[in-house]
Amino acid sequence: MSLVEEFVKKKIIDVNEAVSVEKEMVSSEKTLDKILLSMDVSSSKIMETKKEFFLDIPVFFYDETVTIPKTILDYIPEDSAKRYHMVPLAVEEGELIIGMVNPGDLTAKTVLQFISSKIEMSYKINLISQEHYDHVLTNYSGVIGEVSKALGEYSTAQERELKKLRGEIGGDDIDDSDIIREDAPIAKIVSNIIKGAAGGRASDIHLEITEKEILVRYRVDGILEKSLVLPRNIHRAIVARVKILSGIKIDERRRPQDGRFSGAFLGRKIDFRVSTFPTYYGEKVVLRLLEQDRGALPIEKVGFTKSNLEKIKKAIANSFGMILVCGPTGSGKTNTLYSLLNEVDKQQKNVVSLENPIELNIQGVSQSQVRPDIGYTFATGLKSILRQDPDIIMVGEIRDEETAKLAIGASLTGHLVLSTIHTNTAADVPQRLIDMGVESYLIGPTLIAVIGQRLVRTINPEAKMEEPISEEVRMFIDSKISDLSPKLKEKFAGKNMYVAKSVKNNESGMKGRTAVFEILEMTDKIKRLILTDPSSLSIYDEVRKNDFTTFVEDGILKALDGVTTFDEVMRL
């Protein structure tokens, strides 16, 4: 029995309609689904019948919000995907998952067998609806397709102008209309690069010029991934377009410049921080994406363990003093500060912040953007804030002596101050403040707690697999917890670990990031130590006598719980 006969049997179509359907399938090469949809047969009835007919074939439900990576799409060329109505969906455990609208198509299966032998990978067929198949096809003509189309338009326009001017204009010269008009090819290229970043959850876009080409790379979950390669001759036009959007000088190519712009992409409002940097081959451009509508995480969902969460809630309950978050650039310090601000009483207290830039809008907080170019710095802003009758002050970053002394002064005079500082560990912070010029006797009475943090990628729940802990991992754990108390060591006695396997459209098996923390609480012993020996080694030795765990140990606990992998923790 054929699939068409199955539809007749279920009285979805009659015999006469079945004859017409079969004729149209031969003459037009349309899929059965498309013909039935044109006859007003619902997609749900089509899929229900096909599921029963192909009992031995699993059904694949495509998530339309997910983009299938180019590395997956490359297994089946676009023309083959369209001709035989089959698309690559994922690689799972070394097996290529194929979505087919009609799994009974023998010609398509023959082609698939040929492709399988060519790429030396077995395959597994999944039934996919016509609707989902059509959505998968759009991945072929996504960012890469749109950019290629715009490049073609740009090349045609350039060729026309070159002929018109008899070669008087070189390949790198640009016309104002190429970069100003929204419908110009260069504008389309830049727009699609940005859309690709927004759709792929990227935090940064890197536009890098090399000797022969332009590399477009996205940073996703902290990892830079190459996305596009563009011809070198459009570099100046691309950079000029970004500069126009950012409001910075187009003709200044010798010095770094900073700018910003905002836009709505894929239904999301995004702020872009733009930085240009002169290199040997030309200007490199980096765009940082900051999503306006993204709210601050509740403090319970930031990634604190139960014991660390108790320490944090105790710290922010203080009415005065200073809480600092430390770590390298891009470790999520500012997001942690936003989560802390969510916990304070904004109804009965005046909460003010100084930021550069304002990354999230927090309800109930008076947020101010510093502007160093006009003399409005963290230091000058702090002086003004203290005349605004504040209760809680957030300072984006303590980076110089004046800001450090003003923040200390504010915390001494009855204000709770939250800020970030660049150090490698929490134990380094007291010495860093002293190096900035803060008197050591002022640090003990003001500093409440220091939060050290890093970011690690998390395992996609669908990709999580449990395995016995390897000897290498056990040795790593033992080396990191050797000086912990026996009671705390019990937490690290797990026998299994988790690894991430490739699943669906996620080849790495990792999705998203979380923070790992170390929290240094000020005690009387540490306050006395800061006066006599504020080195990080002395402070570390003292806090280890209590229940202090490092961010590496926090990462180990998260790896044992299956939140992340030991490979991620070992990179900290």
* % the chain with pLDDT above 90: 41
pLDDT at 157: 54
Mean pLDDT of 375-392: 92
Task: State the pLDDT confidence band at 505, using cuts at 50, 70 and 90.
Answer: low
Q: Which fold has domain 3-137?
A: GMP Synthetase; Chain A, domain 3 (3.30.300)
CB atoms within 10 A of CB 47: 19
pLDDT at 169: 40
Cα-Cα end-to-end distance for the chain = 60
For the four alpha carbons of 404, 407, 412 and 413, in that order, the dihedral sign comes to positive
Strand partners, 284: 277
Question: pLDDT tens across 395-443, in order?
Answer: 999 999 999 999 999 999 999 999 999 999 999 999 999 999 999 999 9
Question: Whole-model pTM?
Answer: 0.68
> In terms of CATH, what superfamily is 299-457+513-555?
P-loop containing nucleotide triphosphate hydrolases (3.40.50.300)
- Cβ-defined contacts of 205-212 (< 8 Å, 24+): 205/286, 205/287, 205/289, 206/284, 206/285, 206/286, 207/238, 207/239, 207/242, 207/284, 207/285, 207/286, 207/287, 208/284, 209/235, 209/279, 209/281, 209/282, 209/283, 209/284, 210/281, 211/281
pLDDT at 171: 41
Mean pLDDT of 38-51: 80
pLDDT at 173 over 50: no
Among the residue ranges 89-103, 179-193, 196-210, 373-387, the one predicted with the least confidence is 179-193
Among the residue ranges 141-150, 184-193, 531-540, the one predicted with the least confidence is 141-150
pLDDT at 177 over 80: no
pLDDT at 2: 78
Give yes or no for a contact between 520 and 543, defined as CB atoms under 8 angstroms apart: yes
CA pair distance 309, 319, nearest whole angstrom: 18
- Cβ-defined contacts of 38-46 (< 8 Å, 24+): 39/13, 41/7, 41/12, 41/13, 43/129, 43/130, 43/131, 45/12, 46/129, 46/130
pLDDT at 330 over 80: yes
Element counts in the chain: helices (H) and strands (E): 24, 18
Helix (H, G, I), strand (E, B) or coil at 494: coil
152's enclosing H/E stretch is helix 143-164
Residue 357: is the preceding peptide bond cis (ω within 30°)?
yes
For the four alpha carbons of 202, 266, 337 and 544, in that order, the dihedral sign comes to negative
Q: Judging by beta carbons within 10 Å of its beta carbon (0-12, 13-18, 19+), is residue 475 exposed, middle or buried?
A: exposed
pLDDT at 486: 84
CB atoms within 10 A of CB 559: 26
CA pair distance 260, 242, nearest whole angstrom: 10
CB atoms within 10 A of CB 249: 12
**Selection from 424, 416, 425 nearest residue 395 by Cα:** 416
- Retrieve residue 190's tokens: 């830049």
**Cross-sheet strand order for the sheet of 321-326:** 365-369, 351-355, 392-395, 416-421, 321-326, 447-459, 510-521
**Half-sphere exposure at residue 43, Cβ-oriented, CA atoms within 13 angstroms:** 8
Q: Which fold has domain 143-291?
A: Beta-Lactamase (3.30.450)
pLDDT at 165: 43
Q: Judging by beta carbons within 10 Å of its beta carbon (0-12, 13-18, 19+), is residue 232 exposed, middle or buried?
A: middle
- In this structure, which amino acid lies at residue 402? E
CA pair distance 227, 287, nearest whole angstrom: 15
Question: pLDDT tens across 278-291, in order?
Answer: 999 999 999 999 88
pLDDT at 168: 42
Which segments within 306-440 are labelled E, that is strand?
321-326, 351-355, 365-369, 392-395, 416-421
Mean pLDDT of 250-271: 86
pLDDT at 142: 61
pLDDT, greater one: 169 or 300: 300
Domain spans in the chain, listed from the N-terminal domain onward:
3-137, 143-291, 299-457+513-555
CB atoms within 10 A of CB 282: 18
pLDDT at 391: 95
Mean pLDDT of 322-333: 92
CA pair distance 75, 98, nearest whole angstrom: 10
Give yes or no for a contact between 543 and 529, defined as CB atoms under 8 angstroms apart: no
Strand partners, 433: none
Task: State the pLDDT confidence band at 166, using cuts at 50, 70 and 90.
Answer: very low
Task: State the pLDDT confidence band at 445, using cuts at 50, 70 and 90.
Answer: very high
